[in-house]
Chain A
Amino acid sequence: MDVEDIEIQLFVRAMQLRHGYDFSDYAPASLKRRIQQLVRTHDAGTISGLTTRLLHDQDFLRKAVEGLSVPVSEMFRDPPVFRALRDKVFPVLASYAEINIWQAGCAHGQEVYSLAIMLEEAGLYDRTRIYATDFNDAALAAAAEGIYATRDARDWSRNYLEAGGKHSFSDYYSARYEFIKLDRRLRRHVTFINHNLVTDKVFCEAHLILCRNVLIYFSNALQDRTLGLFRDSLVRGGFLCLGTRENIDFSPAAAGFTDIDQAMRIYQAGGSGARPLAR
C-alpha cells in the first residue's frame, strides 16, 4: 500500500477517534486532494504532520474542518434551477400553512439567501422557516453574516435576473467598498444550525430539502444513506433538489423519489420504486 494512502487512513481515523468527524465514507479522490491542500496551507510537511497537530493542538481541529468542507458557492447558481423551483415546487408549497425548508450543507449561505429572495418574491416567505445546516461552524458564522465580495455581485445580479427575479438584485444588499451586506430582513426566517449529514439524524419535517453539490463528495454507500435520511425527513410529497450533475442511479434509496424535473434534479418523495438501479 502507498505510504500516502496509509497516512490518509490514519488522519481520517484520528479525526474520527479524537473529534467524532467521520470522513471515512467520502469519495477518496477529492478527500485526498483536500488533505494534501491542508498540508500545504499549514506547512505540515506530510499528512502525518497534520495528524500530529490534529491530536496535540486543540485549535487545529477548526482549521482542519474548514479545509475539509467546501464553502464554494454563488447566489442563484444554475439560474434555471431556481426558475424550476418557482414554477414547479412553490405552487405546491403554497398549499401549506407553514413551510419548512432544509438547506443541507449551506456553506457560506449564498443559496439560503437566494431561496429567501425567491420565496419573498413569491409571497411565501412569511410562512416559511428555513433550517440552514452545515458541519463547519466557521461557514455557518459567515453564512449568518451575509457579507460577500462586491466583485461577485455583478455575476449574481445576472444570475438573479436569469432565475426570474422580479426586481433588481441590488435591492437586497447595501454595498460598502469591496463588500456587500445582504439585507438583514432576509434572515428573519432562517435558523442556522450545526448538523453533520454523516453522523446526525433527522431533525425536522421538511417540505423541501435543498442539498446541491454536497453528495458528490460522498461514496455510493454514504450517498444512499443520506438520501434515506432525506426521504425520512420529508413529508409525503415533499421535494428534494440536488446539484444538476448529481447521479442517484446507483442508490437503492432513490427508489423513494419520483422525478419532477430530471434536468434540474428536482424529485418528490414517494416513489413507485420503479427506478432501475445502475451498475
Chain B
Amino acid sequence: MSTHDAVVMGCSAGGLSALQRVLPGLDRHLAVPVVLCCHTGSADVSLLVELLARVCPLPVTEAQERAPADPGVVHVAPSGYHLLVEDNFRFSLSVDARVAYARPSIDVLFETAAEAWRERLVAVLMTGANSDGANGIAAVRRAGGYAVVQEPATAEADVMPRAALELAGADACLTLDAIAAKINELCLP
C-alpha cells in the first residue's frame, strides 16, 4: 500500500542534469502525480519537457491551469508563473511577485502542495544556487509530509539543499542515485 499520494520536486542551477539522473529511476507503475518546479531562465519549458520525456518512464508534460494533477504523470511548472496546487488537487497559476527572486517559486509550489496533500506528500529538493525551497520543505514537514533533500556535498550547487537542511532538516538526505528508489518505495501501490 502506498503511504503517499503525490511528489513535488524542486531544483535550480544544475537541475536539468540532476533530473536526468533521477527521473529514469522512477517506476513506470508509479500512480501518483509528480510535480516539478525547475528554474530554467528560459521563456518556456517545452525544451525541458522534451529532454525529460526522453529519459523518464512516465509521461512528462507542462502543468495546465485548472486541470487535475494526474497520477502517473510528471507535470512541469510553466516559466514565468507560480504553480499552485488547490485543495481539490488541481493546478492554478499566478503572476504575483517573485518569491526569493524566482517565478516559478519552489516555495509556492511546496507550500500549496503541503496544504493540499498534507502528510501524504513527498517533497524532493535538489541542487540550486539560491535558497528557494527551504520554506517549502519546512511547510511540508510541518504538515507531516516526507522531505528528501539532496546530500549537499553531492550537489552541483549546494546552496539550495544546505539552506533547506539548516532551516528545516529533512526526513532523508540522499544522493541523486538514491532519490528515485526512495520515491518508488514511498509511492508505489
Contact = CB atoms under 8 A, between A and B. Distances in A.
A33 B93 contact: no
A243 B85 CA distance: 19
Interface in B87-117: 87, 92-97, 108, 111-112, 115
Nearest to B65: A247
Interface residues of B, number: 21
B65 A30 contact: no
B64 A247 contact: yes
Q: What band does the interface of chain A fall in when counting residues whose beta carbon is under 8 Å from B?
A: 20 to 34
A246 interface: yes
A245 interface: yes
Contacts of B86: 27-29
Most chain A Cβ neighbours within 10 Å, of B86, B94, B96, B112: B94
A114 to B, nearest CB: 16
Contact of B66 (A29, A30, A247): A247
Interface in A213-269: 213, 216-217, 220, 243, 245-247, 249-250
A99 interface: no
A213 B93 CA distance: 9
Interface string B37-67: 0000000000000000000000000001111
A279 to B, nearest CB: 9
Contacts of A278: 67
A92 to B, nearest CB: 27
Given A29-B92, A72-B96, A245 B85 contact: no
A30 B96 contact: yes
Contacts of B81: 216, 245
30 contacts: A27-B86, A28-B86, A28-B87, A29-B84, A29-B87, A29-B92, A29-B112, A29-B115, A30-B82, A30-B84, A33-B94, A33-B108, A33-B111, A34-B96, A72-B96, A213-B95, A216-B81, A216-B93, A216-B94, A216-B95, A217-B94, A243-B95, A245-B64, A245-B81, A245-B93, A247-B65, A247-B66, A247-B67, A249-B66, A250-B66
Interface of A: 27-30, 33-34, 70, 72-73, 213, 216-217, 220, 243, 245-247, 249-250, 278
Interface of B: 64-67, 78, 81-82, 84-87, 92-97, 108, 111-112, 115
